[in-house]
Structure 1
């Protein structure tokens, strides 16, 4: 039997793995199609792929059980999955009030933590630190946001961001937190609560099933 979903992803890009982890935690069957950066034969910047994601990025998801509905942007995909396929509210709560708490941190990851980490890696690592001012600015922002997350974990006191359990808010951060070694940030020493949080997520069965461990620190 063919998988219900097709996920377009990338071996390293964190946003594709975010979706894969949610799919696995919800017990949903999917097939992954790995794409490459650029406009090569298997690239994201090709007319063939841009019919799925006109922005030419990963991830994109096709739900074959919903007339091949295609969704792109990791946040939109994850919200679709939990709204439609999480009736037990494993990763997303039922009440509007609790949803707001989860959404706050979920959107903070998408609007802040992820983009700033990506820019820091671009300027400091991929561009060889040629623009020191830009690299330093983004790395400093990453540290600031790590302090924000660490502060919330301390206030919450449960090991999770909100509601005392793992939600899509937590999982949305995982692959980006795993990326911090690229910036020479040792979270075990510098942000121990984040390190314990990361390790707790890595121990989850769905996460273990979905993640290509050798790619990450």
Structure 2
């Protein structure tokens, strides 16, 4: 049975929707990427789709499900469409729960602190150096956690690539803002990201992200 395309609502440069695109591409699920202008996120009709007014959101015509929150979307996609566990793990197994652990760390650790560092570096209307320093320090700390965990390992969980590895990729696109030399400071993370970015599905998603983020 052929699948109908899943609609992904996102913005061009925003990292979180691209986690979703990477998993859709890994699972060969067709999708339509619908760009939402930033001013429209907190207004109708979008807030009827997601009352929180944030992206990503997916609408899946194959199941009738509309879902927001990137972590929840990734779990939904692999549990619904990865029955062979090519990029996920058998429900109830140790690896299944460890993948959830790292997904939660991505959202509450990497996503939160990288996001705040990005905001205070780029968008906050006043220069608040103490905030920049705090959050950039957290970027280093989160990356150091990953670097330690990846010592002697190719991937985070189960000795194979999984959806949770992909979840970390988009936010690392911003480390240049804070002059972090991943190769020198965090060699295990750097090698891991190189492996991930070499995967065709992830490379294609990053290419699409760059195209949609470029000035027109």
**TM-score, scaled relative to structure 1:** 0.90
Shift of 1:95: 4.1
Runs of 5+ consecutive residues of structure 1 not aligned to the other structure = none
Is 1:209 aligned to 2:210, yes or no?
Answer: no
- Quote the offset at 1:100 in angstroms: 0.9
* 1:66-145 alignment, distance < 5 Å: 66-67=63-64, 69-96=65-92, 97-127=94-124, 130-145=127-142
The whole-number CA distance in structure 2 between the counterparts of 1:128 and 1:55 is: 23
Partner of 1:189: 184
Distance 1:182 1:2 in 2: 39
Show structure 2 runs of 5+ residues with no match.
none
The CA distance in 2 between the partners of 1:196 and 1:136, in whole Å, is 26
Give the match's secondary structure for 2:38. coil
Per-residue deviation at 1:2?
A: 8.5
Counterparts in 2 of 1:29-40, with a 5 A limit? 29-38=30-39
Mapped partners of 1:36, 1:2: distance in 2: 28
Report if the CA contact (8 A) 2:146-2:189 is conserved.
yes
Q: In structure 1, the residue corresponding to 2:41 is in which secondary structure?
A: coil
- With normalisation by structure 2, the TM-score equals 0.91
Whether 1:61 aligns to 2:58 is yes
Aligned partners of 2:125 and 2:190: how far apart in 1? 27
User: What SS is found at the alignment partner of 1:89?
Assistant: coil
Aligned residues: 209
Task: Answer yes or no: is the 8 Å Cα contact 1:125–1:183 preserved in 2.
Answer: no
Superposition deviation, residue 18 in structure 1: 0.2
Q: Do the aligned residues in 1 keep the contact of 2:27 with 2:81 (CA within 8 Å)?
A: yes
The answer to whether the aligner puts 1:50 opposite 2:47 as a matched pair is yes
Alpha-carbon shift at residue 102 of structure 1 (Å):
0.8
What is the alpha-carbon root mean square deviation over aligned residues? 1.8
Structure 2 CA distance for aligned equivalents of residues 213 and 62 of structure 1: 20
How far off is 1:87 after superposition?
0.8
Deviations 1:24-69 (A, max 9, x none): 000100000011212xxxx2111101111111111000001113x2
